[in-house]
Amino acid sequence: MSAALETLDRMNTALAQSQNGELPQSEMIHLWRTQAASLALPARFDEVLQPLLDRIEASALFSEESCSFSQKDLFASLQLWADKARLRLSSQGAAQL
């Protein structure tokens, strides 16, 4: 497995731990911001990720779901980002073979 995919696995683990209440959202967000910067992804990925992480940070201010910030939807969007990043990284790795 490539280093980038291992990094993405760590990010996914942190996401799951945060969703289960095992890791504070602030730590998960910090890890995602720092680790995503090391992935060799097109700039568009960062353009989508950073505002999403900002919204997750803001949603942490609410104890329940609100009409503006649904943590469940935000986490689902973050998982979708990770799935697309995995596809992109996998295809980049296959192209290098």
pLDDT at 97: 47
pLDDT, tens digit, 9 for 90 and up, residues 2-56:
899 999 999 999 999 999 999 999 999 999 999 999 998 999 999 999 999 999 8
For residues 27 and 31, give the distance between their C-alpha atoms in angstroms, rounded to a whole number: 6
- Exposed / middle / buried, residue 85 (Cβ in 10 Å: 0-12, 13-18, 19+): buried
pLDDT at 70: 80
The residue that leads in pLDDT, 97 or 44, is: 44
pLDDT, tens digit, 9 for 90 and up, residues 47-88:
999 999 999 888 777 655 555 668 889 999 999 999 999 999
Report the candidate in 23, 91, 92, 89 with the shortest Cα–Cα distance to residue 56: 23
